Structure 1
């Protein structure tokens, strides 16, 4: 009898442990893994979401002014069809939703999938209202920060070119336009899926957030920031540009071999003198330049709702790496950045040294109750430079547009600040860059433009940025 009681107690303890382990396991998944499983990259195979997609009228995606960009309609056979009203211009940002066809989703359609399916919001009053009104089968609407008019203009400016445009508000981080070209029409994905996905032009790739490019001379903003922060005496130094500079036996030339002669720090920035900035970079040193680049986020992935590529800034050698330091000082070498990243670099100059976290969703609205379910709030991302350094760089960028390589970005009556870049590229002509903002006195918009194999940034990219800035500030 004693042994029987002991065995019963052991068995009871064993099953109790199993029971409580099961409760702990289910609790863990409910609290910590539920969202991850629902929104995982394998959600294309998630039967729960596929069934939800079939019975819910997917919510609409709208621009910041309430213009519909994507919506769902019910066809005669009862099936649901997704329409993209401004297809190619927004293709890489909005993406597509084709889970029901086992093809997944991308862009905003992926990032706010649950909102568009009406699977967020636990307010019992809202849920009851939906049930009473018998309108529970409608997803929520997502309002973007993007301005359709500005997006369409940027897309038109980039037609026939490969590259990207990013425009944002430096004070909030709101993305006002984000264009990648060449593009595709998401309305034709059904019949052209294979051709679009395997296009040699990589039309599905969002070059604005996933394209990695050498920054060229737009990186001189970072080099100048490092000089002013760590070696401020360099600001009063003069340089003798012969059209080239020899570093450890290696000849590094200025653009088209132009000899700028004797010039100071400001003039070197205005005319984008490679020789002078290599000398500046060598004086700043590998450690300081690398620290400043990391302060600007050039070693990481920019946080955003849609996919972004990780910027690449390999560590600079502290000994015997003069050539690598020289090339890095002018934005060449092994550095690779996204156009979004360079927009954020310029935004630090425009916003007293602070980079705000970029975002694409303005708010999410329940279409039945017209209540806001989610709303983005501006927040700080990085603070790479002081307000004093930012103000000095701002004056340099104003000068670059007023009398330097960026004169094509000038707008009558508006003070534009900016920096051009002509990034050498082993696969053809240089990439054309421009980053800038306006009005310089109180910046409202930052624009980053890259045109692949475009040539000189001042001739090709600056006019595109000018037109976008002008349209935004004079609308």
Structure 2
């Protein structure tokens, strides 16, 4: 009998331990992991979420001025997602097709929980929604994007491959982000296979995931390194012969033009390759690499939607250092990254963290339940260095020999830098990065046109039109 009582006690404590462990396990997931598991956008086969989504009228996505860009409607009891400005916003907004087991992308993915009304909702808010709404309704996401500016950027890029990024350098708000060629997310149902396997890679967001040699826009970095680590180089002059030889390799200036004797300012305005190659050699690999890293060109940009990591190769040979000094070689960057480079110059050396969400609004009460606040991302250069580079970029646009003259706007001081990036797959890529008004920058624009040729002739006018339109408002 004593043994029986002893065994019963042991079984009691064993089952008690198992019971409380189960309670603790379930409590942990209910409190800490519930939302993550329920709303995981990474599993397109999450049947529970698919069934929940069928019961929820997905919230709308709007631009910064309250213009609806995406909304859900019911057709014969079935929810349908409508994209009101389809191709122009396809790469920013993305698509929501989880109920078809095709996943979510873009803002639809990043703010999935908000659009399903699963964030910031206390029990009373949920009850109010159930009482006031005929069915569960998701919350509305307002973007930093300006629809008019987005539409203009898309129109400027029609018929071209490339990307445009426009942002506010003081806040990091992205004002426009366009990638072309694009696709219409409204037609994904009937054209899924064709769109996903397109030889033009129409689903690729070239603004955040396209990797390109930056060409002469990188001379901003080379200049920053010189002014920071060896400021005496700013007073150097150089005799440009139209080419320079580095360890037996001949590297030509664009068109083989010999600029003759020139100082730092003239070399920047003209975008002289020979001058900047020699500048890079004088700087050394460590200084140039350190500055590139300070600008974030060795990593990806933190953003709500998917980005890729920039590629900055080790500069082990003098020829690699020479090529990199002018934005050539093996280095690859995204258009968003180059917009941020220009934004640091515009914002006294401080690079603000970019973002696409302005705020999230409760669909029933209209209360703001989430809001983005500006925050610093990087601080690669001093205010003094930023000021000097800004003056050089003003000269590149306004000087009679400047390569960026096509970006000039009457009554507005534009600062910019062109780039004509050679690549092994055809004609050079055309680049332009710039901002305005230079005295008090409100907008930064980065433009790349794949195989477009000269940046000053192709990319600069696109940036000019976008800057002018934004400032005219």
* Matched residue, 2:369: 373
* SS state at 1:450 partner: strand
* Matched residue, 1:456: 454
> Comparing 120-129 with 428-437, which one deviates more in the overlay?
120-129
CA contact (8 A) 2:57 2:135 kept: no
Question: Structure 1 residues 6 and 473, CA, compared in 2 at 3 Å: closer, same or farther?
Answer: same
Task: Find the partner of 1:352 among 333, 339, 348.
Answer: 348
CA shift digits 1:406-465 (9 cap, x unpaired): 000000000000000011110000000000000000000000000000000000000000
How far, CA to CA, are the matches of 1:139 and 1:156 in structure 2? 32
* Matched residue, 1:264: 263
Question: Counterparts in 2 of 1:128-207, with a 5 A limit?
Answer: 128-207=127-206
* Matched residue, 2:237: 238
Shift of residue 16, structure 1, vs aligned partner: 4.3
CA contact (8 A) 1:418 1:435 kept: yes
* Matched residue, 2:57: 57
Shift of residue 124, structure 1, vs aligned partner: 3.5
2:388 is the counterpart of 1:397: no
CA shift digits 1:30-84 (9 cap, x unpaired): 4554444334353321112211221111111111001111111111x21111111
Question: Structure 1 residues 282 and 53, CA, compared in 2 at 3 Å: closer, same or farther?
Answer: same
CA contact (8 A) 1:435 1:448 kept: yes
How far, CA to CA, are the matches of 1:230 and 1:276 in structure 2? 18
Structure 2: give runs of 5+ residues left out of the alignment: none
Task: Find the partner of 2:410 among 409, 412, 416.
Answer: 412
Question: Counterparts in 2 of 1:87-126, with a 5 A limit?
Answer: 87-126=86-125
CA contact (8 A) 1:43 1:49 kept: no
Shift of residue 17, structure 1, vs aligned partner: 4.1
* Matched residue, 1:388: 384
Question: Counterparts in 2 of 1:279-428, with a 5 A limit?
Answer: 279-317=278-316, 321-403=317-399, 404-428=402-426
CA shift digits 1:276-318 (9 cap, x unpaired): 111111111111111111110111110111111111112322x
Shift of residue 15, structure 1, vs aligned partner: 3.6
After TM superposition, the score normalised by the length of structure 1 is 0.96
How far, CA to CA, are the matches of 2:153 and 2:27 in structure 1? 49
* Matched residue, 2:440: 442
Shift of residue 18, structure 1, vs aligned partner: 3.2
How far, CA to CA, are the matches of 1:299 and 1:17 in structure 2? 51
> Comparing 350-359 with 33-42, which one deviates more in the overlay?
33-42
CA contact (8 A) 1:245 1:275 kept: yes
Shift of residue 19, structure 1, vs aligned partner: 3.7
Over aligned residues, Cα RMSD in angstroms?
1.5
Shift of residue 120, structure 1, vs aligned partner: 1.4
CA shift digits 1:115-150 (9 cap, x unpaired): 111111223332232233244511111111000000
How far, CA to CA, are the matches of 2:190 and 2:128 in structure 1? 40
* Matched residue, 2:38: 38
* SS state at 2:71 partner: strand
CA shift digits 1:314-372 (9 cap, x unpaired): 2322xxx1111111111111111110000000000000101111010111111211111
CA contact (8 A) 1:406 1:419 kept: yes
* SS state at 1:44 partner: coil
Aligned length: 471
How far, CA to CA, are the matches of 2:259 and 2:9 in structure 1? 91
Shift of residue 26, structure 1, vs aligned partner: 3.4
* SS state at 1:43 partner: coil
CA contact (8 A) 1:161 1:182 kept: yes
Shift of residue 12, structure 1, vs aligned partner: 4.3
Shift of residue 22, structure 1, vs aligned partner: 3.2
How far, CA to CA, are the matches of 1:41 and 1:54 in structure 2? 15
How far, CA to CA, are the matches of 1:455 and 1:182 in structure 2? 18
Question: Structure 1 residues 282 and 7, CA, compared in 2 at 3 Å: closer, same or farther?
Answer: farther
CA contact (8 A) 1:419 1:435 kept: yes
Question: Structure 1 residues 274 and 30, CA, compared in 2 at 3 Å: closer, same or farther?
Answer: farther
Question: Structure 1 residues 9 and 322, CA, compared in 2 at 3 Å: closer, same or farther?
Answer: farther
CA contact (8 A) 1:88 1:185 kept: yes
